[in-house]
Amino acid sequence: MKRMTVMLAAVLACVGWASSAGAERENSLRDGAWALQFSINGGDFFSLSSFAGGVSVKRHFTPKSAVRAGVSFDAEGSTYGAQESDSRGVSLSILYQRYVNPTADANLYWGVGPSGRFDDDVQETHRDSLTTVNESELWSAGLSGVVGVEWFAARVISLHAEYEAAARYTWVGESTEYNRLGESPVRSTRESEGWSIGAGSTVRFGLSVYF
């Protein structure tokens, strides 16, 4: 809850900063406008071992309403002593996006729509003659929602910051394999499924190019 509060405060700070730039700014929020958007999670700006970002395409049907389809991906790898871990994930979403006031300098918006995600995590531990490999796969599908603010640096170029939450039905498959030198591997598996509701741990920042 504390982390969520900090992230929401960051989004609101962006709103305040954008609002102080002027009363109104020329933008491309109009009927028929298209935009190519690039994004990165705030916590990965200066990380060499992880990355989380994405790309999406947005089309406006009116100045206030648009549909956005996108894919995001993340990867992280680390080594700590005898333990190595590697994780990868990809998300797909189609969102209906609604702007509160498209003529304002700071363009507040929200969005909601279907989304899905796949994660693959592998953790390998080496101790003496024993190697333990833990692997998990996660598949999920459901709804995502975003709230954010967009500010136009120029008529066809904008910056945005947004926060995302999702409710999805999730299936998780896990396996553990023990490999001891000179012995046959021993493997165990387990599965679980159910609903999960959660929010992102960082604010997502992005740049849009309109045409």
CATH number at residue 34: 2.40.160.20
Segments forming the whole domain that contains residue 173: 2-210
Mean pLDDT of 144-159: 96
Asked if residue 106 lies in contact with residue 152, where contact means CB atoms within 8 angstroms, the answer is: no
Total domain count, the chain: 1
The pLDDT of residue 145: 97
**pTM to 2 decimal places:** 0.81
Mean pLDDT of the chain: 88
Nearest alpha-carbon partner for 42 in 14, 79, 81, 80? 14
Summarised one tens digit per residue, pLDDT across range 6-23 is 444 454 454 444 444 444
The pLDDT of residue 44: 55
The pLDDT of residue 20: 45
Residue 49: band (very low, low, confident or very high) from pLDDT cuts 50, 70, 90: confident
Alpha helices for 42-188 (secondary structure H): none
Calpha distance 146→187 (Å, rounded): 40
Region label for 8, one of left (φ > 0), alpha (ψ between -120 and 50) or beta (otherwise): alpha
